[in-house]
Amino acid sequence: MKEERLKILEMLQEGKITADEAAKLLEHLPSQQENKQNQQRPDVYVYDTDNENGNFDNYSYTPRGGGILDTIVDAISNINPHTPALYRDFEISGIQAINLLDLTGKNSSVSVEKNFDNSIKIHCKYSPKRGYDDIDIHFAEENGEYRLQYNQNAVRFMKVNCELPAVLVEKLRLQTSNSSINVEEVTCTTLDAYTSNASINLEELTAKNIVAETSNSSINLEEVTAETAKISTSNAKINVEEVDIPKLSLSTSNASISVEGLLNTQNTQNAENPTLKASTSNGGISVTLPAGIGVKLSADTSHGSVKCDLADNPLLGKHQSGGGNLKTSGENNLYKETGRGLEVKLSTSNGGIKISEE
């Protein structure tokens, strides 16, 4: 809970909360064991539906968590009468296609998951600032574009959970700050995900183009299929597992990059010039490639070594260690014979590079 405590002190220093409120917040922070149990508990929504009007009245909500501020804002709601936790739910049925779904949170998480009926359901948890007792929140549709709209200056936090039907989504745009973005079992053409100081987690996602950007926290991809993906953060690790992305770009700083289980499917084999780019500083890069593919490899590091364990080794007989700047490149036999395969570009400083195969 170190990050949460530091955030409370930062809020106190900025005048967002009083000293008494900060003290009560520190008291309300759960222990490490309680926090682990909370992360394992799924979101639970209990509501009644007014079928005539299509509205939802939310009676209870159990948050799963998803960022540094999620615990803090829940504690604020419990101890400060000026920052009550309020709820607003929306549902739109009969969805055929979605040109744009735009969801913006503030100081709390934004999550999108699969819904098994043909409707979009939006669950909002928020707290108005002092002087804003009545906040207009709208989930509106126009020409196939769906947006969650509200005055961001009027709320202390806005947590958004979306249940998305299995329909064609052209563009999914997710934004928040100081908390995580989570996407699971969703299909769309384009995904843009932006946050800061918190993680982005993409799991069982199918898209054409993906852009995911954060800072000071990790980005995690698992079982993701796309044509292109641009993933960037700073001061935190990037983890990639079991993905099928012919053009994958990964960038961070002061942390490592790990890529395991790149899938050599028809999607990658048919792609024009498939490329894996990974760059960082003050951290290592570890890449596991499928066996039996053509590889064109370039690896640059400083104050570190390059180790390539591929059976068909593109760096065979080339210098792979050194105390200063090390730049090495080569093509394996299969790439030389066919002129096809995966181009791998790896760059770091003050860290090593390791390439292995499954």
Query: For 238-274, what is the HEC assignment?
Result: EEEEEEECCEEEEECCCCCEEEEEECCCHHHHCCCCC
Q: Tens digit of pLDDT for each residue in 72-102?
A: 555 554 545 455 689 999 998 888 889 999 9
Rounded to whole angstroms, the Cα distance separating 136 from 132 reads 10
Query: Which of these, 357, 207, 247, lies nearest to 293 by C-alpha position?
Result: 357
The whole-number pLDDT of residue 140 equals: 85
For β-strands 86-93 and 275-279, DSSP reports them as unpaired
Query: Which of these, 32, 126, 20, 10, lies nearest to 79 by C-alpha position?
Result: 20
Q: Token match 């935190």: residue?
A: 236
Rounded to whole angstroms, the Cα distance separating 246 from 262 reads 9
Rounded to whole angstroms, the Cα distance separating 216 from 235 reads 5
For residue 134, which phi and psi values (nearest 5 degrees)? -120, 110
Q: Token match 């960038």: residue?
A: 251
Give rounded-to-5 percent helix, strand, coil for the chain: 15, 45, 35
Rounded to whole angstroms, the Cα distance separating 174 from 164 reads 13
- Cβ 61 vs Cβ 125: under 8 Å: yes
- Cβ 224 vs Cβ 202: under 8 Å: yes
Alpha carbon 336 to its chain's center: 37
DSSP state of 154: G
Query: Which of these, 256, 187, 190, lies nearest to 219 by C-alpha position?
Result: 256
The whole-number pLDDT of residue 287 equals: 96
Rounded to whole angstroms, the Cα distance separating 18 from 298 reads 54
- Cβ 175 vs Cβ 103: under 8 Å: yes
The whole-number pLDDT of residue 75 equals: 53
The whole-number pLDDT of residue 315 equals: 84
- Cβ 92 vs Cβ 120: under 8 Å: yes
Q: Token match 């096809």: residue?
A: 340
Rounded to whole angstroms, the Cα distance separating 114 from 165 reads 6
Q: Token digits for 30?
A: 């759960």
Q: Token match 């745009």: residue?
A: 173
Q: Kindly give the parts of the chain with pLDDT less than 70.
A: 1-3, 12-20, 28-84, 266, 317-324
Q: Tens digit of pLDDT for each residue in 206-223?
A: 999 999 999 999 999 999
The whole-number pLDDT of residue 59 equals: 28
